[in-house]
Amino acid sequence: MGNIAAEFLETAEQKVFDTDHRRIINHNIGKYDASVARGLSRMINLDNSKKKGHAIKWKVMENLDKFLPEFEANFQKRGGKVIWANDAEEAQREILNILTRANAKTVIKSKSMATEEIHLNEFLESNDIESVESDLGEYIVQLLGQRPYHIVTPAMHLSKEDIARLFHNRFGTPIDATPEQLTQKARELLREKYLRADVGITGANFLIADTGSISISENEGNARLTTTFPKIQISIVGIEKIIPSIADLDLFLPMLATHGTGQNLTVYNTLLSGPRQPGETDGPNEMYVILLDNGRTNLLAQKEQRQGLYCIRCGACLNVCPIYKNIGGHTYETAYTGPIGSVITPHMRGMEDFKHLSFASSLCGACTSVCPVKIDIHKMLLLNRRDAVKENLVTKKERWGWAGWKKGMLKRKTMDFFSGKMKNYLLKLFFKKSWGQYKEMPEVAEKSFSKQWAERSRPDKNEED
């Protein structure tokens, strides 16, 4: 087993039995569930909307070579610049080139999973450039030196008391400060950052091919400030975020908001189609969109699993997943966590190192049932498992173990060869460590079900007489 998989198992076991962590997550996801249920009840034909979204994303992935150049041409018509980045290192290098040319030393960022994917904050810091997160949840985890815990809610793992303690230690606010007071303090701290930042960096929820625009959805207004004050704006966007037409937002914006937070629409929905035009009063002088591959074409090449690229990053599958709700977001050691992360990460970052994520699933299918674009997530997880075996990425011990198990399970005689006492001994001998120190091994009955059934079904001897 690789180091990443071993660390995953170790961390997962610790998190599963962390009662405080479980309490906070259950509370926060419970609030989400109630809100989303209300939001979905307002949609007239939810299943039809999901099918339509699936069809549009299918069309996009089958014609990505058409839609991406269309976006590029339309964006460039209005003075924007498009940069294609094959991997994280290339994206980092291109961003640093832009910052170096502008002699930029300060960056303000809005929430973006693509920037987390390429470890942008750490990269900029290593090059003596200050990069500050402006989304409140992202700002909180940045202050703690952590990664986002959740695709939509970065600080979901923290209670209001945890955040009050953090602000008290860092900024001297009252230890019992209310969420409103903490938000006000964050606003005071961040307003100065917007005003003096040399560059604003964002992601995007959608790339719109026919208008050459990026669409950003948010609830705090921080992305609008990030794209308004700095003279240079950079947006890092995965190539799969493309949609054919601005008319498609009529479907995708409500579906994203409802599945993400239960809202009809997010509070701020912004379309940006390039730098400031003549006669406009605000906006950047230069605007760049970096189209990020970073393993996405590897997934695109997998005909059966490419629908993993349909994801609109609503986070719904994370919130219903029994595995995610127990082991938490940081355990996955990847920007994209939960069921969808377990589908796409092995293809984007390597099957050998991340195949274990596709096995971290109960295959209950809850993720598939809530997906707003009908990605068959639990089937994708099974296909990843199949590929891991086909590519011979499992150990000899695992192969021989499953071969023996299969042989034993196919014949009742073989299954009943060992007594229950011997089976319990073998379980403890071979599986006690992997079963975990916090769990008791299951006890196998002395007699198998088939033996017990045969004995109970046998006619009584006295009756025969």
Grouping H, G, I as helix, E, B as strand and the rest as coil, residue 216 is strand
Say if strands 106-109 and 130-133 run parallel, antiparallel, or are unpaired.
parallel
Q: Which helix (H) or strand (E) holds 162?
A: helix 160-171
Res. 225: pLDDT tops 50: yes
Q: Please tell me the distance from the alpha carbon of residue 335 to that of residue 149, in angstroms, as a whole number.
A: 9
State residue 129's pLDDT score.
97
* Buried-exposed string 258-285: b where 16+ CB fall within 10 A, e elsewhere: bbbbbbeebeeebebbbbbeeeeeebbe
Res. 258: pLDDT tops 70: yes
pLDDT by residue (tens digit) across 75-125? 999 999 999 999 999 999 999 999 999 999 999 999 999 999 999 999 999
Q: Enumerate the domain spans of the chain.
A: 1-42+315-394, 65-294, 399-464
Yes or no: domain 65-294 corresponds to CATH 3.30.70.20: no
Greater pLDDT, 379 or 451: 379
The sign of the dihedral angle between the CA atoms of 255, 213, 224, 310 is positive
Q: Which of 170-174, 232-236, 373-377, 439-443 has the lowest mean pLDDT?
A: 439-443
pLDDT by residue (tens digit) across 260-302? 999 999 999 999 999 999 988 888 999 999 999 999 999 999 9
Q: Which helix (H) or strand (E) holds 304?
A: none
Q: Model confidence at 437, in pLDDT bands (50, 70, 90)?
A: confident
Beta bridge partners of 109: 133, 201
State residue 463's pLDDT score.
52
Res. 66: pLDDT tops 70: yes
Angle at 114 between CA 109 and CA 120, to 5 degrees: 55
pLDDT by residue (tens digit) across 294-327? 999 999 999 999 999 999 999 999 999 999 999 9
Q: Model confidence at 465, in pLDDT bands (50, 70, 90)?
A: very low
Res. 2: pLDDT tops 80: no
Angle at 215 between CA 306 and CA 119, to 5 degrees: 65
Mean local confidence (pLDDT), 198-211: 98
User: What's the mean per-residue pLDDT of the chain?
Assistant: 94
Grouping H, G, I as helix, E, B as strand and the rest as coil, residue 380 is helix
Res. 3: pLDDT tops 90: no
Residue type, position 44, single letter: I
Helices (H), 245-304: 249-261, 296-300
The sign of the dihedral angle between the CA atoms of 315, 118, 205, 158 is positive
Look up residue 5 and give its two tokens. 């998989």
Question: Residues 286, 274: contact at Cβ < 8 Å?
Answer: no
Mean local confidence (pLDDT), 220-228: 95
State residue 431's pLDDT score.
83
Please state, in angstroms and as integers, the Cα–Cα distance from residue 217 to each residue in 239, 268, 313, 393, following that order: 18, 6, 12, 40
Beta carbons within 10 angstroms of residue 388's beta carbon: 19
Q: Model confidence at 451, in pLDDT bands (50, 70, 90)?
A: confident
Considering the entire predicted model, what is its pTM?
0.91
pLDDT by residue (tens digit) across 20-63? 999 999 999 999 999 999 999 999 999 999 999 999 999 999 99
pLDDT by residue (tens digit) across 383-406? 999 999 999 998 888 888 888 888
Q: Please tell me the distance from the alpha carbon of residue 315 to that of residue 257, in angstroms, as a whole number.
A: 10
Residue type, position 155, single letter: A
